[in-house]
Structure 1
């Protein structure tokens, strides 16, 4: 997959269907305060363990905000702006959380999920977003593969299989950009299935 990113421009955003800024004004301990926030959709994510490969299936994709913040800081990464993530999606289609994550699994990684297990509900971007994310788990195997994945509408998602023996090194490798939720999911899995991965 060609992952070349070129001709990046920073533009003003005034009409997004994904984020909407707003300000909350409130009184705390007798002092009036303002807090700038961003409304974003709630989301779902899933940790996928491939039984035949003894590996977790992650998605890798270019995330412009990561590129922007790293480039501003002057830090140099091997894969500038690319992240390793759980398969995930926004709750913006009017479906249930389970229906949404099953649809995302088909679109992003090409696997049909028959059942999922809820892991936890977390809230992200606590200082300005506070949106909810529900995390799930499912075991997958070769028989469940029904497509190539890769996302829709030009998402260009790359599938990455992370073998269990690679998890410990991956978790501490700062060159591989990842979220705290992914690290939590690995620890949850190791504890649930009594596997020493971290």
Structure 2
């Protein structure tokens, strides 16, 4: 399948659906400060461990903001090449449907990876993009196996999400492979698993 991204156009955001830019004025240490911020939805994520494959199940997808930031320092070329802008992530979703964190993450697992999970374990919650965002992400863990497979996954509404397995014996190498773009939350989840399982 051709996963290249085409017809890229960049413009200022005028009617945001998922993020809302704003600014805060305050005094700190006798100095007046203006701070630019973005309000975004809280989210959930889940580290999936496939017992039959002895592997983590991640998702790979195109992230336009990552692609855009990769253009820094070079002439902007509105053409995406290879894996540029594609990221490896925990299965995740926004808390924008009025459901509990647990129910939201269970639905995201089915949509993105095609596995039916009835039980998840809460790991912790963190705040992201601290300098300008601060939205909360709650992280979960779930074990899966072949018997729980109900579909192909891939997301909904044209998300084009690719499930990717990372064998446990290659996970530490994967964590520090800078050619595979990933967030720190994924690395934290891997370390949580290794610490908990003594592996």
TM above 0.5, yes or no, is: yes
Between 128-137 and 12-21, report the one with greater CA deviation. Answer: 12-21
Query: What RMSD in Å do the two structures reach over aligned CA positions?
Result: 1.5
Q: Which runs of 5+ in 1 are unaligned?
A: none
In structure 1, the residue matched to 2:116 is 112
Q: Is the 8 A contact 1:77 1:175 kept in 2?
A: no
Match of 1:189 in 2: 193
- Equivalents in 2 of 1:91, 1:130: separation in Å? 14
Residue 143 of structure 2 aligns to a residue whose secondary structure is strand
Q: Is the contact between residue 58 and residue 85 of structure 1 (CA under 8 Å) also seen in structure 2?
A: yes
1:140 aligns with 2:149: no
Deviation at 1:77, TM superposition (A): 8.2
For residue 72 of structure 1, report the CA deviation from its aligned partner: 2.0
Paired positions, count: 195
- CA drift of 1:61 comes to 0.2
1:174 aligns with one of 153, 173, 178: 178
Q: CA deviation at 1:78?
A: 5.4
Return the offset for 1:74.
3.9
How far apart are 1:2 and its partner, in Å? 2.5
Aligned to 1:10: 10
Q: Work out the CA distance in 2 between the residues paired with 1:56 and 1:89.
A: 18
Structure 2 CA distance for aligned equivalents of residues 3 and 78 of structure 1:
8
**TM-score of the aligned structures, taking structure 1 as reference length:** 0.95
Q: TM-score, normalised by structure 2?
A: 0.95
Aligned residues of 2:4 and 2:82 also touching (Cα < 8 A):
no
8 Å CA contact 1:57–1:162 kept in 2: the answer is yes
Partner residue in 2 for 1:128: 132
User: Shift of the alpha carbon at 1:27?
Assistant: 0.9
CA distance in 2, matches of 1:44, 1:188: 16
Q: Give the gaps of 5 or more residues in structure 2.
A: none
